Amino acid sequence: MAIDCLVLGAGQEIGKSCVVVTINGKKIMFDCGMHMGCDDHNRYPDFSLISKSGDFDNAISCIIITHFHMDHVGALPYFTEVCGYNGPIYMSYPTKALSPLMLEDYRRVMVDRRGEEELFTTTHIANCMKKVIAIDLKQTIQVDEDLQIRAYYAGHVLGAVMVYAKVGDAAIVYTGDYNMTTDRHLGAAKIDRLQLDLLISESTYATTIRGSKYPREREFLQAVHKCVAGGGKALIPSFALGRAQELCMLLDDYWERMNIKVPIYFSSGLTIQANMYYKMLISWTSQNVKEKHNTHNPFDFKNVKDFDRSLIHAPGPCVLFATPGMLCAGFSLEVFKHWAPSPLNLVALPGYSVAGTVGHKLMAGKPTTVDLYNGTKVDVRCKVHQVAFSPHTDAKGIMDLTKFLSPKNVVLVHGEKPSMMTLKVKITSELDIPCFVPANGETVSFASTTYIKANASDMFLKSCSNPNFKFSNSTQLRVTDQRTTDGVLVIEKSKKAKIVHQDEISEVLHEKNHVVSLAHCCPVKVKGESVDDDVDLIKQLSAKILKTVSGAQIHESENCLQVASFKGSLCLKDKCMHRSSSSSSEAVFLCCNWSIADLELGWEIINAIKLNH
């Protein structure tokens, strides 16, 4: 049985997240997003890679959307209403409530204002959302007889979830976007310790480690305050949900403390509507917000007002939150055209901006002019300040989650290729977990876990019950029971598995004499490293063994060594049945075998000589 991971979007890039995972024959689509920086055929994932015939209902078992951001849900109405998918779609209750607002706002901006081709309509959005099944946190959903899914809190934005999926004994987690630290309005990601074959993790900030948020908050507040104190206008392009609420809480509190009378505006009725949902969905917010909610609603901002378009040219200072973020289109871009030429004004960019957007161009340097989508050039004389308030986890958070879950394999998506490659090396070397960074259109395959039920003999069970006391006396006497036992797994004539004690094996096999031995083909050196010949390598390995196994009697010959029943010889085979499938082909191997009587000695030697020890 196998797990196949097909990356349709966010492979070695940020945008149009869409990963299709086949687990023991069940095909699950995680996210169905669009690329905010593209206006051609690359905007949507290549769905033809799932089914050439377009029969998506039979090709896909279900779709799971992790959160309402357009790069994770933006292609869903197109896939269901234009491409014709009618199967089950799952998302959290907040995501189901907020996604249609985001989708309609995007459609209105791109079609009604920019005049682009309408790829899905308002009716498409409504019909698509009728197919959605809302799920609670930690609710186990049985999609069909074999496939079950479960959602975990991801932080990031309201309603964002990580998804656990299991078919038989094979299990994976797809993180979507997540945050491992709390902020003002959302908690940190939380997930159970799970047995996983595969972890698929976002890697937006694969090489970034953030310090305390308080200096960043202070820097942002000082930049905005300085701008309005000098008579300027501060533009904060942000999506209506997420960073807008986080920064509004920060500014509203600062305005109160400093008694500032300069108006703060929201540009979008969508944001006002979004705040209503935030008030209704308090249970998905941080502990701090829940506690404050007992006395007042933290999303009732005292100093924030709705914005009228006529105020764009009004004199005097102000702060404006305008949608969408990244300055990729819409009202925020319209305001930018009018305010960017003034040196009194400020553009504060919160979080990440996708390549191809005006926000990305501003963050990439200090341009004096910027080309917009329709060929218009805008003079940029205003100040540009990048606000490091991204709701994505940093490199430490990714490593912490990976270490906590300890999956058998990791796939990184939703990041920039150079940083992802650096993180891949870090995961492989520090956590000893195989890590992959597939591009869009590529498939990575893994063997899936299968558990076998086995009976146990009475002698084996009795040996398990024998105590094995260990005594230690440092500051006080401590007694521990380090109970271990050895058994042999056999398949009986009835094809049932059974674990028997090693002393029973001759009876089971109907043989008088028997020898139980172990074998392992161990990587001991990288090919090309400087060693004169096989004899030198054997001597080096013997020296490592002597350091670890005190008093070991080692017998050496040209290309092999022996300690008690342990025998190791240099393996000349390209493929060895005793070698791990994940072992590097660039290594030199020592093929080892030893009797069960020297079980602990054998593994002690293996640990002493293996590569990277």
Residues 6+ apart with CB under 8 A from 409: 197, 198, 199, 433, 434, 435, 436, 446
> Which contiguous run of DSSP H or E holds residue 64?
strand 62-64
CA-based end-to-end distance of the chain: 32
Query: In sequence order, what E strands does 216-343 have?
Result: 233-237, 264-266, 304-306, 318-322
Q: Which residues pair with 174 in a beta bridge?
A: 163, 200
Q: What is the DSSP string of 36-63?
A: TT--SGGGS--GGGT-SS--HHHH-SEE
Q: Collapsing DSSP states into helix, strand and coil, what is residue 73? A: helix
Tokens of 422: 């650096």
Q: What is the DSSP string of 414-465?
A: SS-HHHHHHHHHHHHHHH---EE-PPTT-EEEEEPP----EEE-HHHHHHHH
* 219 among known catalytic residues: no
Q: What is d(CA 115, CA 374) in angstroms, rounded to the nearest whole number?
A: 11
- Given strand 147-153, what is the order of strands in its sheet? 140-142, 147-153, 161-167, 170-174, 198-202, 410-413, 435-436
- Tokens 């058994």 -> residue: 487
Q: State the DSSP code for 79.
A: I
The closest alpha carbon to 5, from 279, 161, 196, belongs to 196
Q: What is d(CA 177, CA 31) in angstroms, rounded to the nearest whole number?
A: 11
Catalytic residue among 13, 81, 202, 504: 202
Q: What is d(CA 127, CA 80) in angstroms, rounded to the nearest whole number?
A: 9
Is 341 within 8 Å of 382 (Cβ atoms)?
yes
Active site residues: 202
